[in-house]
């Protein structure tokens, strides 16, 4: 069974930077794609409204977010990618200090309705 995570992040409120960010995401670096898949991320989509992003991430049932974080910090190419992306990204007003993507609270599920 897959697990789903929904997270939010903002972008710099600058149309040129937003376009540049989107260009990077049309085909991300292959090392990043491999890293995501290696640690159990099976699908990832990012949606944008203005400068607000929402990421939907599906993982294997045994996905370990702590292990993924640790391995990401140990991988020079992932660190390079994250540093580059921070040029465009901004924390939301609700993001704890030092964090980027933050988990969103699910408030509705159709499958749980009668």
- The residues, any chain, with a CB within 8 Å of residue 77's CB and separated by 6 or more, are 29, 31, 32, 35
pLDDT of 97 higher than 80: yes
Distance (Å, whole) CA 37 – CA 93: 30
CB 4 within 8 A of CB 101: no
- pLDDT at residue 1 above 80? no
Question: In this predicted model, what pLDDT tens digit does every residue of 43-80 receive, in sequence order?
Answer: 999 999 999 999 999 999 999 999 999 999 999 999 99
Query: What is the full DSSP assignment across 29-74?
Result: -HHHHHHHHHTTEEEEEEEEETTEEEEEEEE-TT--HHHHHHHHHH
Q: Between 2 and 57, where is the model more confident? A: 57
Please provide the average confidence, as pLDDT, over all residues in the chain.
96
The CATH class, in words, for 3-112 is alpha beta
């Amino acid at each position: 069974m897959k697990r789903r995570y929904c997270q939010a992040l903002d972008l710099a409120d600058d149309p040129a930077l937003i376009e540049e960010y989107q260009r990077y995401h049309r085909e991300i670096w292959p090392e990043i794609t491999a890293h995501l898949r290696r640690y159990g991320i099976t699908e990832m989509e990012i949606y944008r409204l203005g400068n607000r992003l929402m990421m939907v991430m599906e993982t294997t049932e045994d996905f370990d977010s702590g292990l993924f974080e640790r391995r990401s910090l140990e991988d020079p190419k992932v660190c390079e990618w994250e540093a580059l992306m921070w040029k465009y990204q901004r924390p939301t007003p609700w993001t704890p200090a030092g964090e980027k993507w933050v988990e969103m609270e699910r408030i509705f599920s159709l499958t749980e309705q009668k």
